[in-house]
Each structure stands twice: as C-alpha cells, then as structure tokens.
Amino acid sequence: MTAEFPAEKIRNIGITAHIDAGKTTTTERILYYSGRVHRMGDVDHGTATMDWMPQEKERGITIQSAATTCIWKGHQVNIIDTPGHVDFTAEVERSLRVLDGAVAVFCAVGGVEPQSETVWHQADRYGVPRIAFVNKMDRQGADFSRVLRMMKDMLGARPVPVILPMGSADGFSGIIDIIAGKAVRFDQASFGARFTMENVPEEFEEEYLEARDSLWETAAMLDETAIEKYFDGSLESDEVRRLLRKGVIAGELVPVLAGAALRNVGIQQLMDAIVDWLPSPVDLPPVTGFLQDGTEVRVGRSEDEPFTALVFKIQTDPHLGRLAFMRVYSGLVKDGDYVLNNRTDRKDRLTRLVRLHANKRDHLEHVKAGDIAAAGLKDAATGDTLTLPGRRLTLESIKFPEPVMQVAIEPLNTSDEKALEKALAELVSEDPSFRVGVDEESGQTIIMGMGELHLEIIASRIRTEKGVEVRTGRPQVSYRESVSVPAECESEFARLIQGRGHYGHARLRVSPLESGFEFVNAMETEEFPDHFVEAVKRGVKGSLGAGPLAGYPVDGVRVELLFARLHETDSSETGYAYAGSMAFRECMNKGVPILKEPLMQLEIICPSDYVGEVIGDVNARRGSILSMEPVGEVQSIKARVPLAELFGYSSALRSLTQGRAGFSMQFSRYERMADNITKRILEQMGITRT
C-alpha cells in the first residue's frame, strides 16, 4: 500500500467489545469489502487474518491487539482489533490511548456485557469518539431496543440509531438506512458484497418515520441554524450527516448501526459511518506534553510541527526482531533517522520502518503526523515519548492495571534456565500487565498476570515462540495488605554513613483507606523543608512493596506526617527516608494488619432451569448475587465472587448446566478478607500470628 493520504483522509480506529461479540468477524468483513484480503477469514475455523497467533487460532479469541490498514472511499483506515477477554484489558488500554475513534461492537443478545462496559469507560477516560454496531441481529433473543436502553442506563451514553434492523433472529431480513430512507437487502451469493436499496416495507414504515424524526431533531439541536431548518422542514440529509459528525467528535452522541457480520449484513454501512463520522487526526485538539521543568506544552497534530510520537506497544517479530509500535502525533521522520527517547535521554535510530497487516508488513520510507507504524528501536518501552534530538518533551504515559494472579514457573531442563530468563524478559517488555519476581523463601521464579488465561497464554508462548519447555504450579491469588485500625508511630534515624552523619525523625499516622495510597503533610508548622517531607514520603512508598503479614504489596492506606524534627547539622534526605520507612512499618504492625483479596464481578448467562444450581454454587464460593434479569429466553445473573474461589470455574459451570451456560468476569476491587480465611491462608504459608 504505497498511496499517500493527507491527514484529513486518515482514520485511526479501534474495534472494541466484550469477548464473542464479533469484533474480529466484523474486522474480517471490513478487510474483505475494502479489497485488503480476497478471502474472508473465520474465527471458529482458525482462519481469521487478525487472529494470527497459534494461541488465538486454537482458542478462537483475540489475545493481542493486531493492526492493519485498508482503503475505503478515498480514505486510509488504520484499524486496531482489540481483545475482548478481561485478562487482556491492557491491550485495549494502550490501543485506546493512541486512537482517534472507536467502533464499539455489541452483541444484540447480550447487550452491554461486563468487558464492553469496562472498555467503554476506558474510552471515556481518553475522550475517544465512538460509533456503535449492534451485531448478531440474526441470533435467537436479539433485541435492538434493549441494547439502546442498556447503552443509556449502563454507559450513560446518548445512542442515536442511524440504522434499523428489519426483524430479528430467523426473521432478520436486512436493515433500514434512516438517513437515506431506504431498506437495504444483501446478496448472500456475493458474500454480501452486493446489496440493493429498496423502499421501506410497509410493516416497518411507522418505526422508520419515528426514528427518522428523532434523528433529524437530535441533529438539529447541535446547531442553531439547523433548528430553524428542522422546524420549517428544509433540513436535508447531507446537513444531518455533517451535524452528526460534529456531535460524534464533540462526544455528545453515539450513532448506532445494526447488522450481522457473520451473515455479511450491514458492514459497508458501518465502513461509511467510520469515514463519515469518526474524526481524522486534524479534527482533534492538540496533544499535551511536558518539558523537563514541568511546563505544559501543546503539540499541534500537523506535519509542519516537530516530530512527536508515543510508543504504545512492543512486539517481537520473528522476521524483523523487536519492534516498537508508535503513534505519530506531529512532524515527519524517515527510515534511518535518529530520534530521542525522552525516558532514557538517549538517541535511537529508526530502522525497519513498517506498517503492519496482522503478522505481515509493508516497508515505509517515512512516517508522518497521523500515522500508526512500527520500527526497530533498541531500548524503547511502552509509554515512551519519541522526539527529535535536542527537543525534550514527554507525553502523558499509559496506566496499566496491577496483576491479580501468580504462578511459579520453571524450565523442564535446568540447562534452559538462561533461555527462560531471556524469554520472560522479552515478554515483560511486550506486556505491561505481566510481571516476573522471585519467591524469597523458595527461590522459585514467579510470574504474575491478570488471570488464569493470561498466565496460561504466557506459558504457551514460552513453549511455542521461545522454544523453552516449562512447567507451572497451581495459580495463586495476589493478595494485598492493609491496616484495620489507625495507628501512630515515630522513628528516629541517626547514623554515620561514609564519614557523614545522616539524621531523620518522623511521626506518622497510618489509617485504612478503601484503595490506593495517600500521603498527607499534616504538620502544623510550615518551616519544615519540603524536600525532607518528600524524603519521608519516598521512604514510605519504598515500603509499600511488602506488608508485615505475608509480604504482599500494601494497598488502601492513608499516611499522615504528624511531626518531624530537624537536626542542627545532620538532617538529610537519606535520614528522613529511613525514618519514614521505619515508622511506616511499625504503624503497619501496630494497626492490626489484614489481608485483602481481589473480588471479581461475574456475569453468568444460563437457562432458567439451572438458575437455582448456579446461585447455590456462587453462594458456596463466598459470592454474593447482585442482580438477576431475563435476557430473551435465558437468565443473566450478576455476582461478585473472590478470585480465589474461581479457579476451574469454567469446568464447574459446564458440569452444573450440562454445558448450556457461559460466563464472563472482570476485576471489581480488593476487599478485606474474613479473619478465618486469613488465618487459613497464613497457615498454608507456614506463618503463625498471635
């Protein structure tokens, strides 16, 4: 693909949704109709273009976000197909950070499911304009109106239907384009590539007219001059399209389309909506960067500005080696140019500049504002800002969730220890939600991730990609520690280090907090130097990694600095950091330490016949039922259950319901563990506390 497109003709979009809503199938159709591929891939048969990893083909799910590019109606559309499984939410997070727009795919039966809700709020956080596609209108239980209601109630969105489905399930026969005022029927002999526009059937006339009037009114409210045209009946369809674009980019509304990707219905209309309503790079405001001294700088999204890019993903390519995926916000650089990595403060040469199509690649001579591409960069990491040498500027980085599960891992052959170490280091650099540590007591290597599937995939990749045979232990939950009552302690540090006296003194109060960490300077005097306050804080933060009960990270504490004493000659940052650390550890012991466990929010879809058994099983797993409602002919049960009780839940649920139920889960929060469970966990670890 060698054609050059101006920035206003570029769309950088993501396809996001809950697992099994049809994201990858939708992307496959987009690639087929745009001529990017000449044969439609199939997720169920492991032939999907975007699911190219062996683990994705085997499981029929998306694990890594995959990038591709296609052309539609004179526009270059850069697409990132993101995972829908909660264990791979970091892939979605980093993709949304660099995209200009998104297509949220919803299942017409499931509606707004847990992971689609999570992804929606991630997009809210980054201010990403969206359109929605209600997929699977041909499925039993499909309900377009219900999905619209769920979008309003659960997402706080303002959905505006621009397409209406004609019927549902077995009676689904096509769609109605509200703006064009035509029914659209798709020719299955051409795999949906050909379609006909007809008059709206009489049976759908009333529904269409009502939807059209609502759409025209919504569009008119976005512009004062359009309101007058609406009331005198002269508001034209082209003006409505223009107003909708304005509303989408401003985040005021979400156009909703409908179809059935597997049956090749409604995809071309979705592609039109992408180029018509989602923003180009130049439609969005400048990005914010920071100079070394903290000064805020606005970076214009133009080729004329100096080069600025953000690295959002690292991937090891079997042919090209280590590649850094980057989003270019401004300027232009050529293959072979030197750029500055603002994290390392080192120059790095751009080599192997490519645009990717899943696991295939096209070589590029240069990249410019608006582009998403990959290049060989030695020391780049996710979240790094790249600029021209001599221009120090840092863009806001990407925040990732903390791991909640861990397993021990070791090579089958001791001769592979170095190879395993290297493989783990490469995977850590690729996946920001994956961590590696060492169990201090056993000396075992511990890998930490977002769930059972995440760690299972990591082990599988080590075997298949890195060629190292490994064995893993039973998954273990990554707990957190906190205090149950406020505690006050003080500590004094006075020591001679390398011939120089170091002194520090701090009195702290540590109190329980629902989550996170807060540090407050509560001293009444303003004479105590700020840099010593920061040193105390630094000492406290350095002690958050291991709590007093079992060495788990500390979460959910508020630390107040009540008093600190100065020394005439020996006060030092080192001294106050040590004093803060010692006082904090003492407070943690004195504040009756507790364990906190991760709770997962479950959504279980099961036939009514098995509701009693499913609820009984949830209660037996220390879970609580949050809600239950009918979804077509099945029941949707929402519950909150400790992660520790969910190992092997997939098999247990299949057994309970004869394979007729399914579930999804996402992390909810950390919550205090019951004392008897805490005692049991500590005993299993060989820890006894009085």
SS3 label, residue 615: helix
- Report the pLDDT value the prediction gives residue 44, as an integer from 0 to 100: 44
Higher-pLDDT residue of 336 and 41 is 336
Vertex 371: Cα angle to 367 and 376 (nearest 5): 55
CB atoms within 10 A of CB 410: 15
- Report the pLDDT value the prediction gives residue 56, as an integer from 0 to 100: 40
Report the percent of the chain where pLDDT is more than 70.
92
Section 496-509 average pLDDT: 91
Please state the length of the chain: 690
Vertex 58: Cα angle to 56 and 63 (nearest 5): 20
- Give the Cα separation of 37 and 47 in Å (integer): 12
> What 3 state SS string does 300-342 have?
CCCCCCCCEEEEEEEEEECCCEEEEEEEEEECEEECCCEEEEC
- Report the pLDDT value the prediction gives residue 390, as an integer from 0 to 100: 84
Higher-pLDDT residue of 438 and 534 is 534
Rg of the chain over Cα atoms, rounded to whole angstroms, equals: 28
Q: What is the pLDDT of residues 270-301, one digit of tens each?
A: 999 999 999 999 999 998 888 887 788 898 88
Average pLDDT, the chain: 86
Report the percent of the chain where pLDDT is more than 90.
42
Q: What is the DSSP letter of 473?
A: -
Q: Six-digit token pair at 77? A: 């559309």
Section 430-446 average pLDDT: 79
Model confidence band, residue 689 (pLDDT cutoffs 50, 70, 90): low
Measuring CA to CA, which residue among 317, 386, 299 is closest to residue 356? 317
- Give the Cα separation of 599 and 641 in Å (integer): 5
- Give the Cα separation of 564 and 503 in Å (integer): 11
Q: Do residues 103 and 272 touch, judged by C-beta distance below 8 A?
A: no
Q: What is the pLDDT of residues 43-68, one digit of tens each?
A: 444 444 444 344 444 444 444 456 78
- Report the pLDDT value the prediction gives residue 62, as an integer from 0 to 100: 41
Q: What is the pLDDT of residues 596-613, one digit of tens each?
A: 999 988 888 888 889 999
Q: Give Cα 371 to chain centroid, integer Å.
A: 21
For the ranges 91-95, 425-429, 493-497, 590-594, the lowest mean pLDDT is seen at 91-95
Residues sharing a CB contact under 8 Å with residue 459, sequence separation 6 or more, in sequence order: 409, 470, 472
Measuring CA to CA, which residue among 578, 444, 596 is closest to residue 513? 596
Section 451-466 average pLDDT: 84
Q: What is the DSSP letter of 152?
A: H
Vertex 318: Cα angle to 312 and 323 (nearest 5): 25
Q: Do residues 623 and 643 touch, judged by C-beta distance below 8 A?
A: no
- Report the pLDDT value the prediction gives residue 40, as an integer from 0 to 100: 59
Q: Is the pLDDT of residue 590 over 90?
A: yes
- Give the Cα separation of 510 and 513 in Å (integer): 9
Q: What is the pLDDT of residues 106-155, one digit of tens each?
A: 999 988 887 777 788 888 888 899 999 999 999 988 999 999 999 998 88
Higher-pLDDT residue of 37 and 250 is 250
CB atoms within 10 A of CB 196: 11
- Report the pLDDT value the prediction gives residue 23, as an integer from 0 to 100: 84
> What 3 state SS string does 546-570 have?
CCCCCCCCECCEEEEEEECCCCCCC
Q: Which of 40-54, 171-185, 307-321, 634-648 reaches the highest mean pLDDT? A: 171-185
For the ranges 15-24, 30-39, 353-362, 379-388, the lowest mean pLDDT is seen at 353-362
Section 558-587 average pLDDT: 93
- Report the pLDDT value the prediction gives residue 690, as an integer from 0 to 100: 57
Amino acid sitting at position 610: Y
Sign of CA dihedral 357, 361, 365, 368: positive
String of DSSP letters for 29-47? HHHHHTTS-SS---TTTT-
Q: Do residues 52 and 64 touch, judged by C-beta distance below 8 A?
A: no
- Report the pLDDT value the prediction gives residue 50, as an integer from 0 to 100: 45
SS3 label, residue 373: strand
Measuring CA to CA, which residue among 63, 37, 34, 65 is closest to residue 49? 37
